[in-house]
């Protein structure tokens, strides 16, 4: 068996993977060699970012049997040919929920406490006061209640917030969440929330799901935070809602095009905080991915059930296959 690795690893990570699959050939492809090495892979673990992968050729070759994504998002590998194949796909959904929740909180508090205003004033050496807002007692709407959405709700609960959430599978409602609705209740969540946080995966149902009509339903003065994927939001419509003053601000860890082009109007808006898709960065990311992959690799070799097995039509694991949901049930 040939295992191709396409995420940053150190020698001890490769040794750990080899120990989990005795006799297998483990190849560190880095980023640059993924398109070539994956053609001869039985198993691929990683996330191709820098060079396009010839997925049609990979599927036609018939050798690859399993993709373990090193990220929660799967837009890098769920192409039509992969979706239509019998290649198993598993994700890292929920693995970096702590870090995504921290990033969300940083963006949200920065906007509520007017930090962009104060940063600009400090650069001018101006010691001036401006209005700020409270997170305490705010109504927070979380769109997408998988691993990231659930962890964010846990962190927000001590702030005495009223938490609303929507999800394609509205199950296992925590006691600190006031409402967990099906995805078709999105409009109600938008109209009731002071802050809307997007945590959905990118798929054919969520691409462009937040456009002009949805933004118009949000409260005047509401805040939008996107830690999902950029194309979930129609960016031109978001800019209009911000420039018109309908929305008070936006915190964006992801954008429609990445890197965000220098000509984007988002750069100029004083009520926007942009971070360069770093929500899932973690001090132990490579080790955590390796630990998770090795657990799944042992299951794969034993013919067991894989963690976070993705429903390829949906683009994410169903609750009965989700590592996060299994922990919810165990708790």
Write the pLDDT tens digit of every residue in 120-149.
999 999 999 999 999 999 999 999 999 999
Which residue's entry shows tokens 């970012």? Answer: 49
Q: Which of 47, 76, 277, 285 is catalytic?
A: 277
CA 262 from centroid of its chain's CA atoms: 24
In a shared domain, residues 64 and 173: no
What is the tally of structural domains in the chain?
2
DSSP label at 202?
P
Write the pLDDT tens digit of every residue in 1-17.
999 999 999 999 999 99
In a shared domain, residues 264 and 120: yes
For residue 150, the model assigns a pLDDT of 97
CA–CA gap between residue 77 and residue 38 (Å, rounded): 12
48 pLDDT more than 70: yes
Residue 237 burial (CB count, 10 A): 17
In a shared domain, residues 183 and 261: yes
Query: 242 lies in which domain range?
Result: 97-274
Does the pTM surpass 0.85? The reply is: yes
Q: Which candidate, 26, 61, 22, places its Cα nearest to that of 45?
A: 26
In a shared domain, residues 253 and 179: yes
Q: Which of 150, 151, 229, 285 is catalytic?
A: 229
Instruction: Provide the b/e sequence for 250-277 (b: ≥16 CB within 10 Å).
Output: bbbbbbbeeebeeebebeebebbbbbeb
Assign 106 to helix, strand or coil: helix
Residue 229 is among the residues annotated as catalytic for this protein: yes
Last residue of a domain, one of 274, 298, 321: 274
Residue 277 is among the residues annotated as catalytic for this protein: yes
In a shared domain, residues 136 and 56: no
In a shared domain, residues 247 and 286: no
Residue 20: enclosing H or E segment and its boundaries? helix 11-20
In a shared domain, residues 75 and 221: no
Last residue of a domain, one of 258, 274, 290: 274
DSSP label at 143?
E
Check the CA dihedral 160-107-103-166 and report its sign: positive
Last residue of a domain, one of 228, 254, 274: 274
């Amino acid at each position: 068996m040939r295992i191709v690795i396409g995420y940053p690893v150190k020698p001890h990570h490769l040794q750990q993977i080899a120990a989990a699959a005795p006799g297998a050939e483990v190849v560190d492809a880095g980023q640059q060699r993924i398109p070539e090495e994956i053609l001869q892979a039985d198993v691929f673990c990683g996330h191709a970012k820098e060079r396009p992968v010839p997925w049609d050729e990979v599927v036609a070759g018939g050798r690859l049997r399993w993709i373990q994504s090193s990220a929660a998002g799967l837009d890098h590998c769920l192409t039509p040919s992969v979706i239509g194949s019998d290649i198993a796909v598993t994700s890292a959904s929920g693995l970096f929920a702590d870090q995504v929740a921290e990033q969300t909180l940083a963006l949200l508090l920065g906007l509520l406490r007017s930090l962009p205003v104060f940063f600009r004033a400090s650069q001018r050496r101006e010691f001036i006061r401006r209005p700020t807002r409270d997170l305490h007692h705010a109504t927070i709407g979380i769109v997408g209640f998988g691993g990231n959405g659930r962890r964010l709700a846990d962190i927000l609960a001590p702030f005495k917030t009223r938490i609303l959430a929507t999800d394609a599978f509205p199950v296992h409602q925590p006691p600190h969440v006031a409402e967990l609705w099906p995805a078709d209740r999105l409009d109600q969540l938008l109209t009731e929330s002071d802050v809307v946080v997007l945590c959905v995966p990118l798929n054919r149902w969520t691409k462009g799901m937040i456009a002009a009509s949805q933004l118009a339903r949000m409260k005047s003065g509401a805040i939008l935070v996107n830690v999902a994927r950029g194309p979930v939001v129609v960016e031109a419509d978001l800019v209009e809602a911000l420039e018109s003053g309908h929305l008070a601000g936006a915190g964006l860890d992801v954008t429609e095009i990445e890197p965000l082009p220098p000509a984007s109007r988002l750069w100029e808006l004083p009520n926007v905080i942009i971070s360069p898709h770093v929500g899932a960065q973690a001090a132990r990311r490579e080790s955590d991915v390796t630990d998770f992959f090795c657990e799944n690799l042992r299951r794969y070799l034993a013919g067991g059930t894989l963690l976070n097995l993705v429903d390829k039509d949906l683009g994410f694991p169903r609750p009965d296959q989700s590592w996060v949901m299994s922990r919810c049930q165990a708790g």
